Structure 1
Amino acid sequence: MIRVAVAGMAHPHTAYALDELEHGPFQLVGTSDPDPAARERWTPPGVRAYADHRELLAATEPDVVAAFGVYGGRAAVVVDALRAGAHVISDKPLCTTLDDVVAIEEEVERTGRWVSVVLEKRWHPVTLAARRLLAAGALGDLALVAATGPHKLLPDTRPSWFFTRDGYGDLLGDLPVHDVDLVLALSGAASGTVSGLAPRRPLPEHPEWSDSGALLLAAGEVTATVEAHWVWPAASDVHGRYRMRLTGTLGTAELDWARDRLHVVTHDRASWDEPLGPGLRPTQDAFAAVAAGREPEVTTAASVRASRVALLAARSARHGGRVEAWA
């Protein structure tokens, strides 16, 4: 049995890890979170819960750690888990500062363990179908990407740390990570530039917080715009109308994750809705990789690269949108 520990349970995405344990040779050996309510909510009967993740790591010696805690404390958990000899499956954002990214990279290099961020958009049937179209050449060479990532705020459901810089980090370091990762994966780019804007609108109750922003990403020969915000209407039937348009030299594909639709048009074929196949559960590939002794498709390099680019966009926004180079 592969020993799994969950270190940090501050977000409902914790279920992504716990639900996957029934699908392989996995044993939950313990959980941790400083918040007693989180420990009570997420820890199954018969499993010991700890207040401190370091106590959890020392007592259980896990093979893999799922990190789903408060964003600002996540890097410390990831680094300590790597030092304890575990691979790490982390919710996004992986961390909240560029220094955190460096610390995680250095620990991966030192320990030989991997870190994989849960980027569940990769596994949606719409995304998998779009990637098949691109691989088959149906859209030609990818030139432009335009993505939107709206979310409902529902402020009464958010904990106090969510509205602080130390707890949450930056808007552009959080919400756009999924779309940044897809742009990097689809383009295959190894370098480029990014700039961001996230003006602080008058929110007197949350003075450290931005609720909307956008970034402009150059990824090799591909130019991408990503808009993200927490002002999606509360009465909507979906949490956010997540969409992405891929524009290639031969055609365009519109990904609509909320409606499970991939709408395509090319120079030689009228528009159609591409048939969708099955997808994967959010942490399915990562846990399967642990069982198979391989690195997940969302590798350490991919996890770190997307996190770094998003955090550079956040830094750019704090400096008026200056252009930041990434490689």
Structure 2
Amino acid sequence: MTRPIRFAGIGIDHRHIFGMAANMMEAGAEFVGWWTDGDPETLDGFQKRFPDVPREGRAEALLDDPEIDLILISCIPRDRAGWAIRAMEAGKDVMSDKPGCTTLDQLAEIRACVARTGRIWSVDFSERFEVPAVTRAEELIAEGAIGRVVQTLGIGPHRLNRATRPDWFFDRDAYGGILTDIASHQIDQFLWFTGARDAEVTLASVGNFANPDDPGLQDFGEIALRAPEGHGYIRVDWYTPDALPTWGDGRLTILGTAGYIELRKYVDVGGADGTDHLILVNGTRCEKIDASDAGLPYFARLAADIRDRTETAMPQEHAFKVCELALQAQAMAEDTHG
């Protein structure tokens, strides 16, 4: 294939579709059409962002187009697996918003479809793939800046923004639970930075401590992970205070045998302006680095994978394992909580 990758969108119910589409365009791909069910809250902003991309009346018009290579999916989470399977069976590769699926049965069906069709099923874990500071951390670790990684500590606080949330956001079965949803980001980062291919969930908990009138919402969750390569702790929540100038003070600390890296991804409270603050401490360096120019290689790598049938953006088994561990943690937490 010598022409640019051509992609379409199915479902714009979550705002992550904005970054998914814009970053694929930045990587040289052509956005040729989209379909969504009804009129989600994101619709006006999406049409303003991509005014020249036509909306199709039927999703099948996109799935049946032999010139479309990739389908981006950001519909209601419980429906993402079904659309991904339809897209792969139609000969398309898939980039899904997280969570890529909401049940273990759905994950098994996706696994079987990938094996049957040979298509790519990728999940845009945006807290890694859309954060330049993570790119710089990967480079430093590859250079040996902190020795062997033995632990990650990831926190993913989010702002509730209740007034703009659709009904499905408060429906446990629709979004899959807080660990299935948000914590998949941190599980992805744990596996990636430790190099683990599997892990044991040793602790998982969820709760609703601040929103009693929304029994379907889980507003707090935590996970502990253990693997031969390292350990991990994850905390996620919907408690971002109004005074914070962004949606969440997401952080990742990566502990190595010869130093550590802390990423203050979206804000540095009381410190420097902007995003992508990286702190490096080892035997010879103790400094803060502006990592905002480190780039986002996932999207160009995915385009190359679509052309070359390779796995440079994210190994397929990695995507499966992240989702599997998130679903296992969710089930453990709800068994304990319930």
* TM-score normalized with structure 2 length: 0.86
Q: Does 1:9 align with 2:38?
A: no
Distance 1:240 1:14 in 2: 18
Alignment counterpart, residue 336 of structure 2, candidates 320, 323, 327: 320
Which stretch of structure 1 is more off in the superposition, 126-135 or 23-32?
Answer: 23-32
Alignment counterpart, residue 158 of structure 1, candidates 156, 162, 165: 165
Q: Deviations over 1:255-307 (max 9, x none)?
A: 111132111222x3352124535211774432343345533412322211111
Q: Mapping of 1:214-225 within 5 angstroms?
A: 214-225=222-233
Q: Does 1:66 align with 2:72?
A: yes
Distance 1:26 1:247, change over 3 A: closer
Distance 1:231 1:23, change over 3 A: closer
Distance 1:152 1:95 in 2: 23
Distance 1:24 1:117 in 2: 17
Alignment counterpart, residue 86 of structure 1, candidates 81, 85, 92: 92
Alignment counterpart, residue 301 of structure 1, candidates 297, 311, 317: 317
Alignment RMSD, CA only? 2.5
Q: Does 1:107 align with 2:122?
A: no
Q: Does 1:119 align with 2:125?
A: yes
Q: Does 1:247 align with 2:263?
A: no
Distance 1:131 1:25, change over 3 A: closer
Distance 1:91 1:171 in 2: 15
Instruction: Determine if contact 2:151/2:231 at 8 Å carries over to the other structure.
Output: yes
Which stretch of structure 1 is more off in the superposition, 123-132 or 105-114?
Answer: 123-132
Number of residue pairs matched by the alignment: 320
Q: Does 1:168 align with 2:183?
A: no
Distance 1:248 1:15, change over 3 A: same
Distance 2:43 2:56 in 1: 6
Which stretch of structure 1 is more off in the superposition, 119-128 or 96-105?
Answer: 119-128
Distance 1:289 1:269 in 2: 38
Distance 2:224 2:72 in 1: 31
SS of residue paired to 1:203: coil
Instruction: Determine if contact 2:191/2:198 at 8 Å carries over to the other structure.
Output: no
Letter in structure 2 aligned against 1:136: E
Q: Which runs of 5+ in 2 are unaligned?
A: 268-275
Distance 1:59 1:125 in 2: 34
Distance 1:129 1:239 in 2: 22
Distance 1:70 1:203 in 2: 21
Instruction: Determine if contact 1:191/1:220 at 8 Å carries over to the other structure.
Output: no
Q: Deviations over 1:125-146 (max 9, x none)?
A: 3212222222222212222221
- The match for 2:272 is none
Q: Does 1:19 align with 2:26?
A: no
CA shift, 1:56, in A, is 3.9
* TM-score normalized with structure 1 length: 0.88
CA shift, 1:211, in A, is 0.6
Distance 1:11 1:31 in 2: 14
Q: Mapping of 1:142-221 within 5 angstroms?
A: 142-194=149-201, 195-201=203-209, 203-221=211-229
Instruction: Determine if contact 1:32/1:39 at 8 Å carries over to the other structure.
Output: no
SS of residue paired to 1:36: coil
- The match for 1:30 is 33
CA shift, 1:199, in A, is 2.1
